Amino acid sequence: AQKITQTQPGMFVQEKEAVTLDCTYDTSDQSYGLFWYKQPSSGEMIFLIYQGSYDEQNATEGRYSLNFQKARKSANLVISASQLGDSAMYFCAMTKDTGGFKTIFGAGTRLFVKA
Amino acid sequence: DGGITQSPKYLFRKEGQNVTLSCEQNLNHDAMYWYRQDPGQGLRLIYYSQIVNDFQKGDIAEGYSVSREKKESFPLTVTSAQKNPTAFYLCASSIGLSVNTGELFFGEGSRLTVL
């Protein structure tokens, strides 16, 4: 069965420093997608970054990068130069193309950025 | 602006009552989804729909029902059979049906409380 594991319930980072949020996944599929979403206190989920299982390069989007290690089945999110507005819940997610398109989510990591 | 609109934002229900949560999108997306989020947890899939007049159960469909009569609309009914309906409900949509087009666009959510 597919599973997403985020082992860090909460993380603290100093403003302007980089932080890594961990994510491991379990799947027997060859084709899948990995995503990170941000959920501020308002509740809306915001897409951050995507990595396909066949992509050889790590994905980057501005201050976000995804450290994809396929053999280890990990997809860690790196946020560089943290800002106070980065304080939020962060969810790792995985999608498989089953013919019935589904995304599963990890339990999330709450990030606190300190001034 | 294009996006997903959920209503109501807050809803209170007495035990034994059915309630319907609205979800409308003007993104012209084929696929739509309903997720449930409990405090401190990730999102769990309730139902999803890939095309009009067709939908599939997700991981926690018991006590819920949906319809997809129009491409833009995917309402969720929380029935009295749902034993623990108090939760935050998120509606989402996506462009396509493969892992490479799987980014989810979310509404702002509906918070349901059973009194």
Q: Which of A103, A107, A108 sits opposite B102 (nearest CB)?
A: A103
Region of B16 on the Ramachandran plot (φ > 0 left; ψ -120 to 50 alpha; else beta): left
The pLDDT, as a whole number, for residue B41 is 82
Is residue B26 pLDDT above 80, yes or no?
Answer: yes
Cite the beta strand spans of A40-108 per DSSP E: 46-52, 60-61, 64-69, 74-79, 88-96, 102-105
CB B112, CB B78: distance < 8 Å: yes
Query: Using CA atoms, how far apart are residues A75 and B13, in angstroms rounded to an integer?
Result: 40
A108, B33: Cβ pair inside 8 Å?
A: no
The pLDDT, as a whole number, for residue B40 is 79
Q: What residues of chain B, 12 to 31, have a C-beta less than 8 Å from chain A?
A: 31
B115 exposure class (CB count in 10 Å sphere: 0-12, 13-18, 19+)? exposed
Least confident interval from A28-32, A88-92, B53-57, B67-71: A28-32
Is residue B99 pLDDT above 60, yes or no?
Answer: no
Q: Closest Cα of chain B to A34: distance in Å?
A: 9
Is residue A11 pLDDT above 60, yes or no?
Answer: yes
Q: Closest Cα of chain B to A58: distance in Å?
A: 15
The pLDDT, as a whole number, for residue B103 is 84
Burial B47-65 (b: 16+ CB within 10 A, else e): bbbbeeeebeebeebeebb
Nearest Cα residue to B6 out of B109, B113, B97: B109
Q: Does B88 touch chain A (CB under 8 A)?
A: yes
DSSP 8-state symbol, A85: G
* Stretch B3-19: mean pLDDT: 93
Q: Which of B40, B94, B108 sits opposite A43 (nearest CB)?
A: B108
Q: How confident is the model at residue A1 (pLDDT cuts 50, 70, 90)?
A: confident
- Contacts with A108 from chain B: Cβ below 8 Å: 40-42
* Predicted confidence (pLDDT) per residue in B28-85, tens digit: 998 899 999 998 788 999 999 988 999 999 989 999 999 999 999 999 999 988 889 9
CB A58, CB A35: distance < 8 Å: no
Is residue A81 pLDDT above 90, yes or no?
Answer: yes
On average, the pLDDT of chain A sits at: 92
Q: Which of B42, B103, B111 sits opposite A91 (nearest CB)?
A: B42
A113 exposure class (CB count in 10 Å sphere: 0-12, 13-18, 19+)? buried
A101, B48: Cβ pair inside 8 Å?
A: yes
Percent of chain A with pLDDT over 90: 77
Structure tokens at B78: 């929380």
